[in-house]
Amino acid sequence: MKITMAQEGEFFSIGSSVACTTCYNQKLQGEVVAFDEGTKMLAIKSPAQSGKHNMFDIRMVNLSYVSNIKVLRECNDPPPSLSTLNLAKINTRLRQNLEEKRQKASHVGVGVTPEGQRVFNSIVKTLSEVKWDGKNIIVMDEVTICPPYGVEDCKTKREGSQALSHVRKIVSSISLQKQEFDFFLSGLFVACLANVRVVFHRFRLSE
């Protein structure tokens, strides 16, 4: 799409307000925070759509795919100095994100049944110390849940284990939910089958 500005040699100064329409007919407006003339990439800042105070959305716009771009307010002031990055904070956040990704990956069982994965996902919502040991679920290094992951498959070597009681309650609630869902599906199937029989009977009578 042809743009009306940002021709060869033109640029957008930092702090200027611009408005444009993307190739998806999306209207954007904001303050220029960066502009690369070589690639015609424009970064604009606008108030956060979440409505949070002192928060902003930053959008990267390729001017090769916008139309009707206009400068609403030209800024001739020198650009402000760049703020200092807190590298320690960035590295800490990076490590936390990587750890979260590793944890999520470790929560996925290999070669386990959907029922086993469902039980694991339900337990890990309330207890963080949950891991896979092959196809067995280990909870707090105290309770072992073996396939097919029913209440009777929850075992421990410790007498009077509170963890075992808690895990069995979770597994029992999952089994109850599954039974209710299966009952609902069976009832729905019977109702559909009955409707088919009625339609078929009426069809035969009309012949």
Convert the pLDDT of each residue in 41-90 to its tens digit. Answer: 999 999 888 878 788 899 999 988 888 888 999 888 887 777 787 889 99
> Of 33-42, 157-166, 170-179, where does mean pLDDT reach its minimum?
170-179
* DSSP designation for 128: S
CA distance 79 to 60: 19
Q: Identify the pLDDT of residue 81.
A: 76
Residue bearing tokens 């895990």? 167
Return the CATH number of the domain spanning residue range 17-73: 2.30.30.100
For residue 135, pLDDT over 90 is answered with yes
CA distance 11 to 6: 6
Q: What angle do CA 55, 58, 63 make, to 5 degrees?
A: 155
Three-state DSSP state, 36 = strand
Structural domain boundaries in the chain: 17-73, 106-203
For the whole model, what pTM was predicted? 0.50
Q: Identify the pLDDT of residue 194.
A: 63
pLDDT tens by residue, 22-38? 888 889 999 999 888 88
